[in-house]
């Protein structure tokens, strides 16, 4: 059994959990909560950077960084399930993943500024720079455009799986589901549980 070192608030850990569920590998992974701020947590031995997620394989080797873990899980599930093999689609998907990861990084850096530095030492220019990344890079390519681009460039495989499981007929219906607390919790519990 593989072990995923993660923490519930980690968006990168959630990304791995969602991918594992989409690939049907979630039953092969045990999730082990990780505290990256605890110097005694073994994550520093498993990933020298002390970052999550980290996936410990059955042979004891460790993969870290969510794009690497997703690539491994996709390969383990037979390949080209969530990351296409055709070069143009593959690099479009990896580039989109990089953009989304960058947005998540910028969000987290803003959170960490507030969490780790006293208010009088907050650097407004730096926080604004991170917020600019989020606004300029993500919201220009809003959720509907991201999903449509992803469907087109990644052969629609991930959306088909979600659509089949939850019977969405359109992006609007998917968006309505996420706006509905009840259905959001259902999907959230399934993927993040």
**How many helices (H) and strands (E) in the chain?**
9, 4
Two structure tokens written together for 49: 């950077």
Question: Is the pLDDT at 135 greater than 80, yes or no?
Answer: no
Q: What is the pTM of this model?
A: 0.73
Q: What is the pLDDT of residues 152-186, one digit of tens each?
A: 544 444 444 444 444 444 445 545 544 544 444 45
Whether omega for the bond prior to residue 5 falls within 30 degrees of 0, making it cis, is no
Q: Which pLDDT score is estimated for 146?
A: 52
> Would you say domain 2-76 falls under CATH 3.40.30.10?
yes
Strands 54-56 and 2-6: antiparallel
Maximum average pLDDT range among 31-35, 81-85, 108-112:
31-35
Read off the pLDDT of each residue in 57-68 and give the average, rounded to a whole number: 98
Two structure tokens written together for 90: 């593959």
Domain extents for the chain?
2-76, 87-155
- Cα 14 from Cα 31, distance rounded (Å): 11
């Amino acid at each position: 059994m593989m072990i995923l070192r993660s923490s519930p608030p980690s968006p990168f850990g959630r990304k791995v959990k969602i991918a594992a569920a989409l690939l049907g590998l979630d039953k092969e992974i045990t999730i082990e909560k990780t505290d990256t701020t605890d110097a005694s947590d073994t994550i520093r031995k498993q990933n020298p950077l002390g970052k999550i997620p980290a996936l410990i394989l059955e042979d004891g080797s460790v993969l870290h960084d969510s794009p690497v873990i997703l690539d491994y899980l996709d390969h383990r599930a037979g390949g080209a399930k969530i990351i296409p093999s055709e070069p143009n689609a593959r690099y479009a998907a990896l580039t989109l993943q990089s953009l989304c990861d960058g947005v998540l990084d910028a969000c987290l850096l803003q959170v960490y500024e507030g969490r780790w530095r006293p208010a009088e030492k907050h650097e407004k220019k730096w926080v604004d720079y991170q917020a600019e990344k989020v606004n300029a890079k993500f919201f220009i390519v809003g959720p509907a455009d991201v999903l449509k681009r992803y469907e087109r460039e990644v052969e629609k495989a991930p959306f088909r799986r979600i659509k089949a499981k939850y019977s969405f007929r359109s992006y609007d219906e998917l968006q309505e589901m996420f706006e509905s607390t009840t259905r959001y919790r259902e999907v959230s519990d399934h993927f993040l549980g």
